[in-house]
Amino acid sequence: ILWVHDYHLIPLAAELRAMGCRQRIGFFLHIPLPPQIIMAAIPQHEWLMRSLFAYDVIGFQANQDVQHFERYVLNEANGESLGDDRFRAWGNTVRASAFPIGIDVDEFEALTQAREARDMYETMKDEYSKRRLLLGIDRLDYSKGIPQRVRAFRELLAHYPENRRSATLIQIASPTREDVNAYGDIRRELESLCGAINGDYGELDWMPVRYIHRMVARKRVPGLARAAAVGLVTPLRDGMNLVAKEYVVAQDPDDPGVLVLSRFAGAAEQLKEALLVNPYDTHGTAETVQQALQMPLEERRARHQKLLQRIREQDVHWWRKTFLDALNDAP
C-alpha cells in the first residue's frame, strides 16, 4: 500500500494510476481544507479535487474538513454522498474521513521526566518564582496569530492591572522562510509590538514580554511548558496544532496549567475542555486569559484530566492504525 502525505502531493495518485498502479493508495491532508466557495476560487480547483478521487481513502484532520469536502463534491462536482463517509464523483468513489493526528504521549512524557526538561523547569520556577508564566511556542508564520496574541496580552495588562509585575509572556517564534517578504514583515511587526509593551509597562525588575526569535531545543520544551500557568495556542487557522497536545501532556496533574486554544485550530474539535477563543477578538482573548489565570485548582485538574485522557486515547499510534485499517478495508 501507499500512504501519501500533504497538499504538495495531491496529484500523485492520479499520476500513478495513469502508469498502471492498482494497489491501495491513501492520502492525508495535514492542513485545513478550505470551504467550498474558497476552494472554487482556485483557478484549477476542479483538476485538484478530481485528483483526490484517484485515492482510495482521504484523511482529514477534523470533521469540519470532511464537511467542506462533502459540500464541494455535492455542489461543485455534481457528485453524491453514499453514506459512511463515501463519496462518488467523476466516475470514482473515495472514502473521506477525519483522522485527527496525535502525538507520541509516552515519548513526550519521558522527555518531560528527562534531565534537560527537569533542569529547564527548575530554572524557570526559580527565575520566575514571583511571576505567572504565559507561554507561546510557534514557527514565525502569519497563520499562527502571534501578533494578535501579543495584542491580547497588552489588553490583559491594560484592563486587569493586577497582572502587571505578575504575568510574563514568553513567546518563542522559531525562524522560518525568512527569505519571503511576508515573513520579514511579521517579524518586524512582532518586534515592534513586544518593544512597545515592554516600554509602556515594563519595570526595572520585570519585563512583560520575553520574545525569543530562535529555535529552542526540543528536550527543553516540556520543562518550559510545565512551568507555564497558561499555554497560548491561538493560530488564525491550523490543521491540528500538536503544540496544544504537548502542553497538556507536560503539565503536573496535581497543579496543571490551563490551555487557551484557538477555535480555528483542528485540535479544538478534540480538546473541548480547553478555553476556546477567537484569535481575531483581541478583547475576548484577553478576557479568556484572565479567566485562565484565575481558574481554581479543582477546575484546572478536572479539565486537564479529561484532556489528557483523550490525547492518550487518540495518540499518534491510534492515528496510524485507524487510517491504515481504513485503507486496508477499502474496496
Q: Which of 147, 137, 214 is nearest to 182 (CA)?
A: 147
Q: Which of 71, 89, 72 is nearest to 80 (CA)?
A: 89
Distances (CA, A) of 7 to 60, 236, 266, 269: 11, 19, 16, 22
Look up 5 and say whether it is catalytic: no
Q: Which of 102, 48, 100, 108 is nearest to 72 (CA)?
A: 48
CA-based radius of gyration for the chain = 22
Identified catalytic residue from 138, 238, 304, 315: 238
Identified catalytic residue from 30, 45, 85, 213: 30
Q: Tell me the three state secondary structure of residue 304.
A: helix
Look up 283 and say whether it is catalytic: no
Question: Integer distance in angstroms from the first to the last C-alpha of the chain?
Answer: 13
- Sequential DSSP letters for 90-120: TTEEEEEEE------HHHHHHHHHSHHHHHH
Give the residues across from 209 on adjacent strands: 169
Tell me which residues are annotated as active site: 30, 238
